[in-house]
Amino acid sequence: MSEVELQPDSHNFIMEDQNEDESPKKNTLWQISNGTSSVIVSRKRPSEGNYQKEKDLCIKYFDQWSESDQVEFVEHLISRMCHYQHGHINSYLKPMLQRDFITALPEQGLDHIAENILSYLDARSLCAAELVCKEWQRVISEGMLWKKLIERMVRTDPLWKGLSERRGWDQYLFKNRPTDGPPNSFYRSLYPKIIQDIETIESNWRCGRHNLQRIQCRSENSKGVYCLQYDDEKIISGLRDNSIKIWDKTSLECLKVLTGHTGSVLCLQYDERVIVTGSSDSTVRVWDVNTGEVLNTLIHHNEAVLHLRFSNGLMVTCSKDRSIAVWDMASATDITLRRVLVGHRAAVNVVDFDDKYIVSASGDRTIKVWSTSTCEFVRTLNGHKRGIACLQYRDRLVVSGSSDNTIRLWDIECGACLRVLEGHEELVRCIRFDNKRIVSGAYDGKIKVWDLQAALDPRAPASTLCLRTLVEHSGRVFRLQFDEFQIISSSHDDTILIWDFLNVPPSAQNETRSPSRTYTYISR
């Protein structure tokens, strides 16, 4: 007994209730200690001859009872026991109550339930689950859970969705039958490659590494590309020469030129059916996106139409005439004026809206908020020192750019200015944001990429907010749009630039300063 010391436990000494005739046979508790743990044991009383027979008889009766009677009997027994006995029973029951349900479910023909449970795991947890045992690994493999994890990410994350389309592995997803695609091991090896791709894209954004393509839009009378919008197949641009040009996104060739406006095309938006444009000729025109045919011309504003937005049967236009027009847009040919909003004291340069608010910004230095449903005025956001040229609104956040060279972030519900971003040297002409970044373009010819989440954190130092400055335009930047993989911008220099952060040449991946670029020049 050199390593295990046997000694009376003075702290946990318990006397069991005994009948008076059994009092000489009371139990004594002892503690076996090895320095790190202890187990309470009782000194066994001398075995009595009748105990074994009585126990066997009790078990015989017990086996004959119903399950409910057995449970009731055991409950009575436990209630008559003392605390330390309860502890022994608990220790005995714990391993009996534990179940490897992932292994047990398939044994009951319930593989689909085991797969469904594990399908909620993230990648790190799924890796750990594969190492539990061969049965867990089999459930994960046969359930194609790596495939399901990738599919879940593609459904919920635009970056994953876009990457799946651009890299081509979307062809292996969302197949109903396992025989339609590769085995689980393919998706198991694909997942880390996707993560590496995403990390590379994020690094390219932070470091400014990109592949640059350039469309030259110059014609005899053109001195700038005022507006644009793009998708995976095309870029539609509005020019100072009164035309709208549609470009092939891959070849960068000009596919179509739409003419009809008698002034510069200052703003546009399109969907799968129509293109809507606003011009310095004071009109709004609606075009068939496929044929280029003019479907409708709206004559309302007295001066240039500076910006417009449409969505879900509603269109909002704004003008140099200081007014905002709200339109009901039943179809391309059935557009009626609902309300004119008046309140700004200078040209209204930009509008945006959702189901709750219409937001407008003006040369009068203010942002005004209106109710979408009633068109009633709600509040004014004050803070910019000079006229406001651009804004975007989504959820509670408004981001605006001004000729005071700053960008401001606002909470639309309370009107508070959350942050002022400084860095541009001239008027901030265009601005867009998503969940991660703000991208701005200015009359200084520069495009800046800002960290949105850091900008919303009041503790973040101002010096950390601008992630990158991109300088390629030789003139004022008029308009830009971006997604997870690229920025497309237009300028007074008559060019459209495509900044591709996905397909960066390998030679540029190790560059820390100005990266090498591939240029594609198209002039039409």
pLDDT of residue 448: 98
Q: For the domain that residue 157 is a member of, what is the CATH number?
A: 1.20.1280.50
Same domain, yes or no, for 308 and 245?
yes
What pLDDT, on a 0 to 100 scale, did the predictor assign at position 39?
45
The per-residue pLDDT for 101 is 79
Q: Are 316 and 393 part of one and the same domain?
A: yes
Task: For residue 204, give the nearest of 496, 463, 486 by alpha carbon.
Answer: 486
Q: What is the pLDDT of residue 221?
A: 77
What are the angstrom distances between the C-alpha of 346 and each of 244, 350, 436, 489? 28, 12, 33, 27
Would 40 be classed as within a structural domain? no
Helices (H), ranges, 368-469? 452-455
- Would you say residue 27 lies in a domain? no
The token pair that represents 80 in the structure block? 């008559």
Q: Which amino acid, 228?
A: L
Based on the fold, state whether residues 189 and 307 are members of the same structural domain. no
Domain assignment present for residue 399? The answer is: yes
Q: Which amino acid belongs to residue 177?
A: R
Range of the domain at 305: 208-505
Do 192 and 281 lie in a common domain? no
Residue 86 to residue 73: CA distance in whole angstroms: 16
Q: What is the dihedral of CA 434, 440, 446, 450, to 10 degrees?
A: -60
Number of Cβ within a 10 Å radius of residue 407: 28
Question: What's the confidence (pLDDT) of residue 30?
Answer: 42
Q: How many other β-carbons are positioned within 10 Å of the β-carbon of residue 480?
A: 23
Residue 230, classed as helix, strand or coil, is strand
Same domain assignment for residues 419 and 313: yes
- Asked if residue 35 belongs to a domain, the reply is no
What single letter denotes the amino acid at residue 480? L
- Give the pLDDT score at 511: 56
The tokens describing 171, both together, are 């062809």
Is the same domain home to 213 and 198? Answer: no
Which CATH number is 373's domain given? Answer: 2.130.10.10
Residues 219 and 189 in one domain: no
- Last residue within a domain, chosen from 206, 225, 257: 206
Residue 123: CA atoms inside 13 Å, Cβ hemisphere, count?
A: 14
187 domain residue, yes or no = yes
| Domain tally, the chain | 2
- 314 & 328 share domain: yes
Task: Specify whether 318 is located in the same domain as 445.
Answer: yes
d(C-alpha 362, C-alpha 487), whole Å: 26
Q: What is the pTM of this model?
A: 0.78
Q: Are residues 202 and 245 in the same domain?
A: no
pLDDT at 9: 43
Three-state secondary-structure class, residue 7: strand
Could you say which of 206, 223, 253 is where a domain stops? 206
- Asked whether residue 267 is domain-assigned, the answer is yes
Cβ pair 137, 104 in contact under 8 A = no
Consecutive 10-residue runs of the chain (524 residues): their mean pLDDT? Answer: 40 39 42 42 58 89 93 92 92 84 83 90 94 91 93 95 94 78 91 96 95 87 91 96 96 96 97 98 98 97 98 98 97 97 98 98 98 97 97 97 98 96 97 97 98 96 96 97 97 96 81 43 39
DSSP output for 98-143: ---HHHHHHHTT-HHHHHHHHTT--HHHHHHHHTT-HHHHHHHHHT
* Cα radius of gyration rounded to whole Å, the chain: 36
Q: Tell me, what amino acid is at 86?
A: H
Q: What is the C-alpha separation between 492 and 484, in angstroms, rounded? A: 25
pLDDT score at 446: 97
- Within this chain, do residues 196 and 240 fall inside the same structural domain, yes or no? no
Q: Which two tokens stand for residue 22?
A: 């059994």
The per-residue pLDDT for 510 is 61
Identify the domain boundary among 206, 234, 256.
206
Other C-beta atoms closer than 10 Å to the C-beta of 96 total: 7
* Half-sphere exposure for 254 (CA within 13 Å, toward CB): 19
Based on the fold, state whether residues 189 and 228 are members of the same structural domain.
Answer: no
Instruction: Judge whether 94 lies within some domain.
Output: no
Contact between residue 501 and residue 486 where contact means Cβ atoms under 8 Å apart: yes
Read off the tokens for 282. Answer: 């004071």
Q: How does strand 211-216 pair with strand 521-523?
A: parallel
134 located within any domain: yes
The pLDDT assigned to 289 comes to: 97
Tallying the residues shown for the chain, one arrives at 524
